[in-house]
Amino acid sequence: MASRSASGSLSYGQGISAGIAIGKAYVFDRGQARVAKYRLAEEGIEAELARFAEAVALSKEQLADVDRRAKNLSGAAEEEFYLLLQAHAQMLENSRLLRSVNAVIQHEKINAEAAVQAAMDQIAEDFRRIDDPYLSARLDDISEVGQRLIANLSGEAPSRFGHLDEGSIVIGHMVTPSDVALMADSNVAGFISAQGGAEGHTSILARALGLPGIVQASNVLGLVETGDNVVLDGETGAFIINPDAGQLETYRALQADFSEEVAQLALLRDKPAQTTDGERITLAANIELPQETPSVHQAGAAGIGLMRSEFLFMNRDDVPGEEEQFQAYKGLIEAMDGAPVTVRTLDLGSDKLASALAGHFEAADNPALGLRAIRLSLKEVDLLEAQLCALLRAATHGPLRILLPMITTPDEVRQVRAVMLRMVRRIARRGQAIPDPLPPLGIMIEVPAAALAADALARECDFFSIGTNDLTMYTLAIDRGNDQVSTLYNPLHPAVLRLIQFATAAADRAGIPINLCGEMAGDPRLTKLLLGLGLRHFSMSAPSLPRIKKQVLSLSMADCVHFAATIMTMTDARRITDAVMNDSVGLDDVPVALKAI
């Protein structure tokens, strides 16, 4: 029996999909219990392997059925779900999961349910050791396929939400992506999951569907019973079980505000992003996979400002060759229909790893300072050659820019340009078309050395893109993935702001474009400062874009410049953060010594 003591009190998880949901709880707890384990006699092994093969076949049929149901979804949701089903279907072909289960049944002589559980536990353990956020998110997919197999082996039907009343809120230990897809077809208004990651497919799909959701609400199952009233805020991660009348009223008002905001933001889709005093601002999208383009179109993005090509290399056992990459980049360019596309060359290493290239990385005490990004591409030049050939060929199909990650010296840019010219000759020898002019070659400004050497670097390249995520990490010596120091990670530290300002001024002096593509670009509270620092081009996740556009439309460039000038006189990171987040600078914020100037 769940504890009732917390009724009406506010709890928090991680909000992953904005929106307010109010309704009755439906608690489901599939997949939490450990499966029964028993030993097999030698002569029972063949039959157990056959029973497992049947469960695999049934799982495939179920996925095909879910696929048919997903056709009712629209736009980005259908696209996301299609990709997800593809991934799951592949895991039911010849994956490590299936191979491991068969091996465990044969060698450990245990039943198939327990073998699936053991294989899942082992894969989870391996992924945890690699400590790659992308791989961790994929763990949700593996776990979902595993749970489906266990359910089919034990004759348990996968959960369905079709019977639930209008406005129900699903609460579970682990809400899976398939669960979310089924919710789309039902009366479910939102969900809270005790587990899950903000980057997993559950979260991605919830965002694509606009279904409010919370993950990592570790205490939720102890607080709630089916039938309780629940309110949840998918943006802040706040939820209340059995709210009182006043709390209900507050959340109803928030819900009405949110619906109004979404409707208003959608109206901005085709409106140019322009300040009140007429300065045009470019708002482009960041993507990880070419298939994300529908949501880029929905957001009204001016193009793709950052395609993180390393994601093409992850979650697979082999390296994508030139032809495969060419098809991916060409598809992206064609899907963007004339809008510019910026593809960043491989940024593997540090927290981003691809198993197919694991052999290239020796264990390092400080991987973020080691063989990462352009350093890997210049060391393993075959990788760079294949990628540049693919990009050059794709550039004959539309406007493409090539962006180099983690550049620290002009010589690295010169080396890449030399390889690029060599690849132009290679393509010509093959009789393939060469883009004319060649695609612009730009660099990420994401290491303090690059920001400080921006004048010299600007002479070697055609554009800059500031990566504030790494720039903050490397400037402040705070690992962006380390929870223990995460409170110190602050892109509004004056040292980071000065590097942004300096690089922007250097780009201006050299007459080359500069973009900002780190997470700062997607936070509307920072737009005023960034415009005031001289930036005019931004790139962010597609769902953030409409809010940034709204912010741009409300600002005057004169105010932005004045605001930024004041902020840049301030020296204390906490005071700066307060002033920027609350959009309030007072006389007290300007140091006494500077007041007279």
If contact means CB under 5 to 8 A according to the sort of partner, which of Mg ion, ligand PEP, none does residue 545 touch? Answer: none
In degrees, rounded to 5, the angle at the alpha carbon of residue 430 between the alpha carbons of residues 429 and 435 is: 85
Shortest separation between residue 551's beta carbon and Mg ion, angstroms = 24
Count of residues in contact with Mg ion, rule CB under 5 A: 3
If contact means CB under 5 to 8 A according to the sort of partner, which of Mg ion, ligand PEP, none does residue 500 touch? Answer: none
| Residue 408 found at the interface with ligand PEP (CB under 6 A) | no
Q: Which stretch binds Mg ion (CB under 5 A): 50-58, 383-391, 460-468, 578-586?
A: 460-468
Count of residues in contact with ligand PEP, rule CB under 6 A: 10
- Pair of tokens at residue 523: 């936070």
Shortest separation between residue 445's beta carbon and Mg ion, angstroms = 10
If contact means CB under 5 to 8 A according to the sort of partner, which of Mg ion, ligand PEP, none does residue 7 touch? Answer: none
| Residue 292 found at the interface with Mg ion (CB under 5 A) | no
| Residue 351 found at the interface with Mg ion (CB under 5 A) | no
What does the DSSP 8-state code read for residue 280?
B
36 beta partners: none
Query: Residue number with the shortest CB distance to ligand PEP?
Result: 467
Shortest separation between residue 407's beta carbon and ligand PEP, angstroms = 12
Shortest separation between residue 307's beta carbon and ligand PEP, angstroms = 10
The residue from 88, 173, 201, 493 that is catalytic is 201
**SS3 sequence, 538-573?**
EEEEHHHHHHHHHHHHHCCHHHHHHHHHHHCCCCCH
Look at the chain and count its residues.
597
b/e for 182-206, b at 16 or more Cβ within 10 A?
A: bbbebebbbbbbbbbbbbbbbbbbb
| Residue 367 found at the interface with Mg ion (CB under 5 A) | no
Closer by beta carbon to ligand PEP, 116 or else 517: 517
In degrees, rounded to 5, the angle at the alpha carbon of residue 110 between the alpha carbons of residues 105 and 111 is: 90
| Residue 478 found at the interface with ligand PEP (CB under 6 A) | no
Closer by beta carbon to Mg ion, 368 or else 590: 368
| Residue 310 found at the interface with Mg ion (CB under 5 A) | no
| Residue 470 found at the interface with Mg ion (CB under 5 A) | yes
How far apart CA 594 and CA 403 sit, in angstroms, is 40
| Residue 298 found at the interface with ligand PEP (CB under 6 A) | no
If contact means CB under 5 to 8 A according to the sort of partner, which of ligand PEP, Mg ion, none does residue 237 touch? Answer: none
The amino acid at 459: R
How far apart CA 375 and CA 348 sit, in angstroms, is 10
389: annotated active-site residue: no
| Residue 243 found at the interface with ligand PEP (CB under 6 A) | no
- Given candidates 291, 295, 468, 475, which one binds ligand PEP under the rule CB under 6 A? 468
Shortest separation between residue 404's beta carbon and Mg ion, angstroms = 11
Transcribe 173-236 into DSSP letters.
SS--HHHHHHHHTSSEEEEEESS--TTSHHHHHHHHHT--EEE--TTHHHH--TT-EEEEETTT
Q: Which stretch binds ligand PEP (CB under 6 A): 12-20, 246-254, 266-274, 463-471?
A: 463-471
Closer by beta carbon to Mg ion, 144 or else 446: 446
How far apart CA 202 and CA 197 sit, in angstroms, is 8
Shortest separation between residue 208's beta carbon and Mg ion, angstroms = 25
- Neighbour-count burial of 263, counting CB atoms closer than 10 A to its CB (0-12 exposed, 13-18 middle, 19+ buried): exposed
Closer by beta carbon to ligand PEP, 113 or else 523: 523
Closer by beta carbon to ligand PEP, 407 or else 517: 517
| Residue 467 found at the interface with Mg ion (CB under 5 A) | yes
| Residue 446 found at the interface with Mg ion (CB under 5 A) | yes
Long-range contacts of 89-96 (CB under 8 A, 24+ apart): 89/60, 89/63, 91/141, 91/142, 91/145, 92/56, 92/59, 92/60, 92/63, 92/145, 96/123
Query: Could you give the count of Cα atoms lying within 13 Å of 125 in the half-sphere of its Cβ?
Result: 6
> From the DSSP assignment, how many helices (H) and strands (E) are in the chain?
23, 16
Residue among 259, 261, 257, 223 at smallest CA distance from 243? 223
Q: Which stretch binds ligand PEP (CB under 6 A): 188-196, 244-252, 467-475, 500-508?
A: 467-475
537: annotated active-site residue: no
- Given candidates 214, 454, 517, 585, which one binds ligand PEP under the rule CB under 6 A? 517
The residue from 88, 461, 493, 517 that is catalytic is 517
Show contacts with Mg ion in window 497-556 (CB under 5 A). none
- Pair of tokens at residue 77: 């949701």
Rg (CA), the chain: 26
- Given candidates 470, 503, 536, 557, which one binds ligand PEP under the rule CB under 6 A? 470
Closer by beta carbon to ligand PEP, 111 or else 544: 544
| Residue 144 found at the interface with ligand PEP (CB under 6 A) | no
Site string for ligand PEP, 429-458 (x = CB under 6 A): -----------------x------------
How far apart CA 363 and CA 374 sit, in angstroms, is 18
- Given candidates 138, 308, 528, 536, which one binds ligand PEP under the rule CB under 6 A? 308
Show contacts with ligand PEP in window 151-180 (CB under 6 A). none
**Dihedral angle sign, alpha carbons of residues 389, 390, 393, 396:** negative
How far apart CA 423 and CA 344 sit, in angstroms, is 17
Helices (H), 95-199: 96-108, 112-130, 133-153, 177-184
Neighbours of 562 (CB within 10 A): 14
Shortest separation between residue 559's beta carbon and ligand PEP, angstroms = 26
Transcribe 447-469 into DSSP letters.
SHHHHHTHHHHHTT-SEEEE-HH
Closer by beta carbon to ligand PEP, 241 or else 328: 328
Give the residues lining the site for Mg ion (CB under 5 A).
446, 467, 470
Give the residues lining the site for ligand PEP (CB under 6 A).
306, 308, 347, 446, 467-470, 517-518
Active site residues: 201, 517
